């Protein structure tokens, strides 16, 4: 070659040798050495399309988009209308997140070759990539606009449909999300993802019956534990009634008598909350104690709800009358506040209490501190209670720990003795566990130790075991 530098035949042979060497080095995964051979080809023949293509591909493969773009531009100087080179440049620009330039090239190719699928796909892929970037940058409206462009070109584009559904659900535009979910199912009837999106969207719309049917269809396609669990959860939301049985056992270290209270409950769920009726039964030597209770939870808006309770008994074991009301408000940072009032008529005592509490959630942990300010004329008392819970399994199960100081008007096991106990120094600690099976049957066990100081040097203890069983239907 050095003896015949102008000989075209020698030049061509040397180029062929270097191209062959470069290909073999690529097969051996010696990419740097292969690139050196191709660059040597370009030094001899700057417009060699094979060497240019190899270098574009090599630089793209190793993530050197800037270098790949240099070679793509060099190639297009010699072959400005080469559609394959233009497509490669569009891909490189997309990797560099220069979406406007990339999409402009892909759009021109799509216009020039309207029946070639790969150019249309390149353009829509570029739009989706740009939309994903907007989505990551928390600009959902811009992302949705790009996904709509994709669907205008290809209404069956599964990625554009799925991304649009997710964004619309996030914006609480549930009707629009449902349109896209149904559109996806129409084009892909056995696609698990679209049926799942339909179920999620219907759940967001509180259409639990329809959502449960969609979730059942997902289970038929793929009965993995996650899908089965979600279907069970949605079916539980369609159940408006609940039956409950509760049993409270109290024993004492200062007397042999043990006291039990059995409770039956019926609860009905409606759109804004639930109401319940309970019957409490306690057998004693002095007679049979019966108490009826009516309870209401009512949601005024997403950040405000009320709790109300009214009870009446035959004054055997139970206080004659008990009334309660609290209003709860949710604040920022998962903080909830409560203000309420309690009335208790037991024996000859009529007490009125103010209630205030604050609760905070940290992921799966929930902590509540509640204070009672009790007026039982002419006396005035206070009581405090701290409750912590650790939630598991979509917050259906939890472990709880409690600690208390004083006797509160919400303490079921000591209400009949409330006038006698309210002034005593009382400490209590407790723990419990509640487990829900298939979102339908809930069982719980809770234990509490109560220590009361009755004189300056004398204490007495009470031990409570509380069992619960509830079933939705």
Q: What is the CATH number of the domain that holds 265?
A: 2.40.160.40
Note whether residue 40 is domain-resident.
no
Co-location of 215 and 257 in the same domain: no
Note whether residue 154 is domain-resident.
no
Co-location of 361 and 258 in the same domain: yes
> Which residues have C-beta within 8 Å of that of residue 156, sequence separation ≥ 6?
187
Co-location of 246 and 194 in the same domain: no
Note whether residue 367 is domain-resident.
yes
The predicted model scores a pTM of 0.73
User: Could you give the CA distance from residue 385 to residue 407 in angstroms, rounded to a whole number?
Assistant: 9
pLDDT for 268: 98
Q: Output the CA torsion 445→446→447→450 (10° steps).
A: -150
Co-location of 205 and 336 in the same domain: no
Co-location of 266 and 389 in the same domain: yes
Co-location of 302 and 402 in the same domain: yes
Co-location of 306 and 405 in the same domain: yes
Co-location of 387 and 246 in the same domain: yes
CA angle 126, 132, 138 (to 5 degrees): 145
DSSP 360-422: EEETTEEEEEEEEEEEETTEEEEEEEEEEEEEETTTTEEEEEEEEES--TT-GGGGGGHHHHT
Note whether residue 123 is domain-resident.
no
Coil, strand or helix at 261: strand
Last residue of one domain, picked from the residues 193, 212, 238: 238
Note whether residue 206 is domain-resident.
yes
Co-location of 347 and 446 in the same domain: yes
Buried b (16+ CB within 10 A) or exposed e, 333-366: eeebebebebebbbeeeebebebebebebeeeeb
Q: What is the Cα 382 distance to its own chain's centre?
A: 39
CA angle 392, 397, 400 (to 5 degrees): 95
DSSP 311-336: EEE-SSSS-SEEEEEEEEEEEGGGEE
Supply the range of the domain harboring residue 210. Answer: 172-238
Last residue of one domain, picked from the residues 214, 238, 262: 238
Omega within 30 of 0 (cis) for the link into 378: yes
Locate 171 and state its tokens: 């914006």
> Which residues have C-beta within 8 Å of that of residue 120, sequence separation ≥ 6?
110, 114, 153, 154
Note whether residue 352 is domain-resident.
yes
Q: Which backbone phi and psi does 298 adopt, to 5 degrees?
A: -135, 125
* pLDDT lower than 50: segments of the chain: 1
Closest of 118, 175, 119, 177 to residue 147, by C-alpha: 177
Say how many domains are in the chain. 2
pLDDT single digits (tens) 47-88: 999 999 999 999 998 889 999 999 999 999 999 999 999 999
pLDDT for 259: 86
Note whether residue 145 is domain-resident.
no
């Amino acid at each position: 070659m050095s003896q015949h530098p102008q000989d075209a035949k020698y030049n061509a042979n040397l180029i062929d040798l270097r191209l062959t060497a470069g290909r073999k080095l690529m097969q051996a995964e010696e990419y740097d050495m292969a690139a050196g051979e191709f660059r040597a080809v370009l030094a001899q023949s700057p417009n060699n399309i094979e060497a240019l293509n190899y270098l574009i591909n090599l630089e793209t493969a190793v993530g050197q988009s800037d270098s790949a773009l240099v070679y793509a531009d060099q190639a297009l100087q010699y072959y400005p209308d080469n559609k394959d080179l233009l497509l490669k440049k569009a891909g490189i620009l997309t990797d560099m997140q220069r979406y406007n330039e990339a999409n402009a090239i892909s759009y021109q190719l799509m216009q020039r070759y309207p029946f070639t699928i790969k150019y249309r796909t390149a353009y829509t892929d570029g739009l989706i990539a740009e939309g994903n970037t907007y989505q990551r940058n928390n600009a959902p409206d811009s992302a949705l606009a790009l996904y709509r462009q994709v669907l205008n070109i290809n209404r069956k584009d599964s990625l554009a449909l799925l991304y649009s559904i997710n964004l619309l659900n996030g914006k609480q535009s549930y009707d629009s999300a449902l349109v896209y979910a149904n559109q996806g199912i129409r084009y892909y009837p056995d696609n698990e993802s679209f049926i799942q999106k339909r179920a999620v969207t219907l759940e967001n719309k509180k259409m639990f019956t329809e959502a449960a049917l969609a979730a059942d269809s997902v289970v038929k396609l793929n009965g993995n534990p996650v899908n089965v669990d979600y279907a069970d959860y949605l079916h539980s939301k369609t159940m408006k009634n609940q039956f409950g049985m509760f049993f409270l056992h109290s024993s004492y270290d200062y007397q042999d008598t043990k006291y039990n209270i059995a409770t039956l409950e019926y609860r009905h769920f409606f759109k804004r909350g639930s109401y319940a009726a309970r019957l409490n039964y306690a057998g004693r030597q002095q007679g049979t104690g019966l108490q009826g209770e009516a309870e209401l939870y009512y949601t005024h808006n997403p950040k405000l709800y009320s709790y109300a309770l009214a009870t009446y008994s035959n004054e055997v074991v139970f206080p004659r009358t008990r009334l309660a009301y609290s209003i709860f408000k949710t604040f920022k940072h998962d903080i909830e506040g409560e203000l309420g009032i309690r009335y208790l008529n037991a024996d000859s005592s009529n007490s009125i209490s103010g209630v205030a509490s604050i609760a905070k959630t940290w992921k799966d942990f929930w902590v509540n501190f509640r204070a009672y300010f009790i007026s039982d004329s002419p006396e005035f008392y206070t009581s405090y209670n701290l409750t912590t819970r650790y939630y598991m399994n979509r917050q259906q199960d939890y472990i709880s720990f409690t600690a208390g100081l004083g006797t509160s008007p919400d303490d079921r096991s000591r209400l009949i003795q409330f006038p006698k106990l309210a002034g005593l120094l009382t400490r209590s600690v407790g723990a419990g566990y509640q487990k829900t099976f298939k979102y339908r049957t809930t069982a719980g066990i809770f234990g509490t130790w109560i220590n009361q100081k009755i004189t300056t040097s004398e204490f007495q203890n009470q031990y409570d075991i509380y069992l619960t069983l509830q079933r939705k239907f």
